[in-house]
Amino acid sequence: MQQTSPGISLEGQVALVTGSSRGIGAVIARRFAEAGAKVALNYNASVTAATEVMDSITTGGGDAMLIAGDVSDEVSAQETIKAVIERFGRVDILINNAGIHRDRLLLRMTPADFDEVLQVNLRGAFLCTKYVMPHFVRQHYGRVINMSSVVGLTGNPGQANYAAAKAGLIGFTKAVAREVASRNVTVNAVAPGYIATGMVEDLTEEQRNQILERIPMGRFGTSEDVAETILFLSSKGAGYLTGQVLTIDGGLIA
């Protein structure tokens, strides 16, 4: 049964969740709205799905806005932050969730496969963090959570580009955390393991069983598992926690 953290409130706060048209980002956005945050939903291509996420939030009495934009594009990242401030007057939480993968073994991986994955997963987080930070520093409060992965800690065959990007996010998290700690801004990363999204659903039954044998909890994670951890890291109560990487993997790499 899914466990939630009913006590955590984000009432009066504004959160930007990149890549929240579907997958884990959509679940984070809905959970944040449920906790009382006003949510800015960023997406790149999936306008219909993003609109459905926004409608589900507003139908439930929440407040949300949609922002189309490629996080790896500097102007687009700047415009995204500007749009949040224009609409909600402030921003308190940035979840750098947008991500892609282009999996291939190294010998077959093209420079374009490598660059594209680094651009979205790493440069995208850099740009959004860079352009939100002046607001966080000025208000002496902010939360940044970067979406890494266990493969950024362990590596994984066929994912040299993705693992490099996710490992890069960990160094980025730790460096920026040190830069802004004195301004009451925290910067942390989460490293999910196997989360039951489209990626896991595409595996064969044999592959799924092999993976499940390696997970001490004996189940795949859910997007809700990830959202609950991120909700905690985004809360005021996590104010003395910075520069950390929390693995959300059922004990996989414990």
CA-based nearest residue to 189, from 176, 202, 207, 180: 176
Establish if 43 lies at the interface with ligand NAP (CB under 6 A). yes
Report d(CA 225, CA 233) in Å as an integer.
13
Q: Is 120 helix (H, G, I), strand (E, B) or coil?
A: helix
The interface region with ligand NAP, picked from 91-99, 107-115, 206-214, 232-240 by CB under 6 A, is 91-99
Of the candidates 16, 25, 35, 62, which one interacts with ligand NAP according to CB under 6 A? 25
Record the tokens describing residue 8, joined without a space: 């955590």
Are 172 and 146 a contacting pair, CB within 8 Å? yes
Helix then strand then coil, in percent of the chain rounded to 5, is 50, 15, 35
Establish if 133 lies at the interface with ligand NAP (CB under 6 A). no
Q: How many CB atoms lie within 10 A of CB 205?
A: 7
Whose Cβ is closer to ligand NAP: residue 146's or residue 235's? 146
Q: Is 77 helix (H, G, I), strand (E, B) or coil?
A: helix
CB of 170 to ligand NAP, least distance (A): 12
Q: Is 228 helix (H, G, I), strand (E, B) or coil?
A: helix
Binding residues with ligand NAP: total (CB under 6 A): 29
Catalytic residues: 162
Establish if 159 lies at the interface with ligand NAP (CB under 6 A). no
Residue 19, Ramachandran bin (φ over 0: left; ψ between -120 and 50: alpha; else beta): left
CB of 190 to ligand NAP, least distance (A): 8
Of the candidates 13, 14, 18, 176, which one interacts with ligand NAP according to CB under 6 A? 18
Of the candidates 15, 29, 71, 127, which one interacts with ligand NAP according to CB under 6 A? 71
**Of residues 101-130, which lie at the interface with ligand NAP (CB under 6 A)?**
120
Establish if 70 lies at the interface with ligand NAP (CB under 6 A). yes
Say which amino acid occupies 170.
I
Establish if 32 lies at the interface with ligand NAP (CB under 6 A). no
Of the candidates 14, 15, 16, 19, which one interacts with ligand NAP according to CB under 6 A? 19
Whose Cβ is closer to ligand NAP: residue 84's or residue 120's? 120
Of the candidates 129, 188, 197, 234, which one interacts with ligand NAP according to CB under 6 A? 197
Q: Strands 245-248, 93-96: parallel, antiparallel or unpaired by DSSP?
A: unpaired
- Residues paired with 189 in a beta bridge: 146, 245
Contact residues: ligand NAP, CB under 6 A: 18-25, 42-46, 70-72, 97-100, 120, 147, 149, 192, 194-195, 197-199
